[in-house]
């Protein structure tokens, strides 16, 4: 049984169920049935607008976002799917902090629920820097079912790796 790198923190019984889906070549069908649709957020501008709308809806008092982009190097270089940064610069005697969110380009091709999950995750970091209970409560508030979407995204990434390795 090959280790499932995206599911290492999950119970062995759950990993066995996933291994069974993989062995029966049913993981792709399972994901396609649960997440049949794509989304229209294909440009950096559309991603910024999407992110800003979610922020307006759920995090009005959080710091403004200055930049949101799809990053084609994020998945490969940093082994991350999203990244939030705060860049501080001195401008005329004042310290200005710019907030940036970078989303891995692979999310252009995923289900809208996965895109929302990663955007919600990065937005939650505007309020909570650590992955603690408050952070995950905020994620769940912004996207009910967040934990299931995160797990299913891990399944998607597993399936993506398996199908890439077969070609």
Residues 21-48 pLDDT 10s: 999 999 999 999 999 999 999 999 999 9
Q: How far apart are CA 101 and CA 108, in angstroms?
A: 15
pTM of the model: 0.88
Mean pLDDT by 10 residues, the chain (167 residues): 85 95 96 97 97 95 89 69 69 78 94 97 92 96 97 95 79
The pLDDT score that the predictor gives to residue 81 is 73
Domain spans, the chain: 15-166
The pLDDT score that the predictor gives to residue 30 is 96
Q: Please say whether the dihedral angle defined by the alpha carbons of residues 58, 60, 61 and 65, taken in this order, is positive or negative.
A: positive
The pLDDT score that the predictor gives to residue 77 is 46
The pLDDT score that the predictor gives to residue 86 is 63
The pLDDT score that the predictor gives to residue 80 is 65
SS3 38: coil
Fold observed for domain 15-166: Zincin-like (3.30.2010)
The pLDDT score that the predictor gives to residue 41 is 97
Q: Are 20 and 11 in contact (CB under 8 A)?
A: no
Q: How far apart are CA 42 and CA 21, in angstroms?
A: 31
The pLDDT score that the predictor gives to residue 85 is 66
């Amino acid at each position: 049984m090959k280790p499932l790198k995206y599911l290492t923190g999950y119970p062995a019984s759950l990993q066995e169920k996933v291994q069974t889906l993989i062995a029966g070549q049913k993981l792709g069908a399972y994901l396609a049935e649960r997440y049949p649709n794509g989304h229209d957020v294909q440009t950096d501008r559309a991603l910024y607008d999407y992110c800003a709308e979610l922020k307006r809806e759920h995090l009005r008092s959080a710091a403004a976002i200055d930049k949101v982009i799809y990053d084609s190097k994020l998945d490969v270089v940093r082994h991350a799917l999203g990244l939030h940064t705060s860049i501080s610069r001195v401008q005329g005697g004042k310290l200005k902090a710019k907030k940036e969110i970078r989303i891995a380009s692979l999310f252009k091709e995923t289900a809208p629920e996965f895109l929302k999950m990663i955007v919600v995750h990065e937005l939650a970091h505007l309020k909570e820097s650590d992955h603690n209970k408050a952070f995950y409560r905020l994620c769940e508030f912004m996207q009910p079912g967040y934990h299931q979407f995160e797990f299913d995204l891990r399944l998607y990434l597993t399936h993506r790796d398996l199908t890439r390795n077969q070609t």
